[in-house]
Amino acid sequence: MKFIEVNEMVKEFRTGHSVVRALNDVSFSIDEGTFNVILGPSGSGKTTMLNMIGGMDTLTSGSMNIDGRDVSNLSDAQLTDYRRNYVGFVFQFYNIIPSLNVFENVDLVKNLGGSDFNTKEIIESVGLGDRMYNFPQDLSGGELQRVSIARAICKNPKILLCDEPTGALDTKTGQTVLQILSSMATKYKKTVIVVTHNSKIEAMGDQVIKIKDGNLEDVIQNKNPKKTTEIEW
């Protein structure tokens, strides 16, 4: 059994009399501890898919198994538990608390999640050892995104979901952030899923899931995923 199994996932949004089918019979699976890229143009259904895997929204039909458990029909309370125990989120905008320094921002989430990770070690692992006690206002966009990765990892989730994590960053800073995200799969055995419309990132994925107009277009396995430094940006 695969770590994540999505079977014939359908998601429809109803607004008034109209129905938008954002995902149409999508099926794929994901191995634990791998770096996955969900690739597709704007409006193709990437965020909808990420929200489903992250337990932030529910399927219209189909099923989803995660770590051997059917999570497609959970109650609100069970979904909250699932999100708390399984999922870390990294968004395009960082949602860092401005009145807390880097250490405090990460440590707060670590304590809420009750993990026994070492906060300092995690901050060092994203390359911010020398910014530990700086406040968000003193940090660049790339550094803030690294704080948000440290914060997501600190609660020790099994799955790290990243929605356009480099969308607000310049190319070089984006590369650093992507390399750190990919190291989270190799170093901490997290299952990392990055949603993007940037096809350059495709080469980095152990697996690439391509969607278009809500349909699964292709699933590609990369035997030799590239490092950011090996990709021409």
Q: Torsion over CA of 161, 209, 9 and 186, rounded to 10 degrees? A: -40
Residue closer to ligand ATP by CB (options 44, 176) is 44
For residue 183, give every residue at least 6 positions away whose Cβ sits within 8 Å of its Cβ, in sequence order, or none: 125
Residue closer to ligand ATP by CB (options 218, 230) is 218
For residue 193, give both structure tokens: 């899923």
- C-alpha distances (whole Å) from 219 to each of 112, 114, 145, 189, 216 are 36, 36, 28, 21, 8
Q: How far apart are CA 132 and CA 125, in angstroms?
A: 12
Q: How far apart are CA 3 and CA 213, in angstroms?
A: 26
Q: How many of the other CB atoms lie within 10 Å of CB of 196? A: 22
Output the smallest distance, CB 48 to ligand ATP, in A.
3
Residue closer to ligand ATP by CB (options 45, 157) is 45
Residue in the structure block whose two tokens are 């497609």? 72
Binding site for ligand ATP (CB under 6 A): 13, 15, 20, 22, 40, 42-48, 197
Residue closer to ligand ATP by CB (options 16, 68) is 16
Output the smallest distance, CB 93 to ligand ATP, in A.
13
Output the smallest distance, CB 36 to ligand ATP, in A.
15
Output the smallest distance, CB 160 to ligand ATP, in A.
18
Q: How far apart are CA 190 and CA 52, in angstroms?
A: 18
Output the smallest distance, CB 161 to ligand ATP, in A.
12
Output the smallest distance, CB 14 to ligand ATP, in A.
8
Residue closer to ligand ATP by CB (options 48, 148) is 48
Asked if residues 71 and 216 have their Cβ atoms less than 8 Å apart, the reply is no
Residue closer to ligand ATP by CB (options 20, 112) is 20
